[in-house]
Amino acid sequence: MAATIRVLIVDDSALIRQMLTRALSMDPRIEVVGTAKTGVEAIEKSQLLSPDVVTLDIEMPELTGLEALPYIRHNSDARVVILSCVDDPDTTYRALELGAVDFIPKPSAGMATSMTELSEVLLKTIKTAYRIKPGYSPDSCSESPEGRSVDSANCGDAGSEGLAACVAVAASTGGPPVLERVFSGLAASLPAAYLVVQHLPSGFSASLARRLDKVGDVRVVEAEHEMPVEAACAYVAPHGVHMTVARGRGGAQLRFSLGAAVHGVRPSADVLFESVAEQFGADGVGVVLTGMGSDGARGAAAIKRAGGDTIVQDQASSVVWGMPGSAVRMAGAGRVVPAGLVATEIRRAVRARAEARA
């Protein structure tokens, strides 16, 4: 019989606390052991009640969620899931850096339909968080240097003719801090373009692109339909569309489509990876990072069949080894490495292709 998951709900809204308690209590695997309305109360109850998972609001009196989060992480084994407003993604990314395992956009209180949808997502996320080893520490990079302003019209200088490799990257749960670490280890001198699918709610992809743009030499932008794909640039797929790459006389271009969701998500890494395999063949590189589900596994297998490389984050450094584990099982071992060595493997793969071309 599956173990009961003990949950502490933290939110300054009495209505939200009541609605979430009622919704979560409908699942026999979930036991709501308590609620809290302030950051101080959240710290006290996380120690007293020993919850497995804490759902944590950010804007609260006395102590904010960001201020309370380090204390909760230090004084308990609870995995923390952030409930955040979509219009403040930078704050949510900061929560992930501080040790939250996932985040969910919070709808306006009183919207019954939105709360029903939130409850379904939250149940799934809580069960995923429970599988994460207590005390997990995110493998994120240190403080990022100031970056350049993002100018999508002038992403790179080399153009697609200078491409030796097209690197497709997939991530989901726990992905943003790992992506920051990976991009901090990449250099603009590498003749590669990077196409990124990170499963995110609507409104987060532009903020993620800005954060990644600050951590290293590679220019990172939110992708646009028919945007040229250029060396030394990275493109983050926006929410709600599938992103693919196509090559023509004018070079490589990004293409968007509104096809059906794959694995329940759009954009899908499989859709992107399969287009990279088709268009770039042996010059394609597939990178599958931490995440729930199996998106990216089929695409990584396609890249491998086309002669390209696959790089997979290992289980020990992944928040959830669903996506990378599926990639190993479906595409073969490839190179399975800790988060801190993913950039090293990407550099190796790109340089090998550049040397072969030379």
- Residues marked active site are found at 172, 199, 295
Contact 176, 201 (CB under 8 A): no
Contact 243, 169 (CB under 8 A): no
What is the C-alpha separation between 70 and 73, in angstroms, rounded?
5
Nearest-5° Cα angle at 92, 293 to 86: 85
DSSP collapsed to 3 states, 206-254 = HHHHHHHHHHCCCEEEECCCCCECCCCEEEECCCCCEEEEEEECCEEEE
What is the C-alpha separation between 316 and 270, in angstroms, rounded?
24
What is the C-alpha separation between 168 and 288, in angstroms, rounded?
9
Contact 73, 54 (CB under 8 A): no
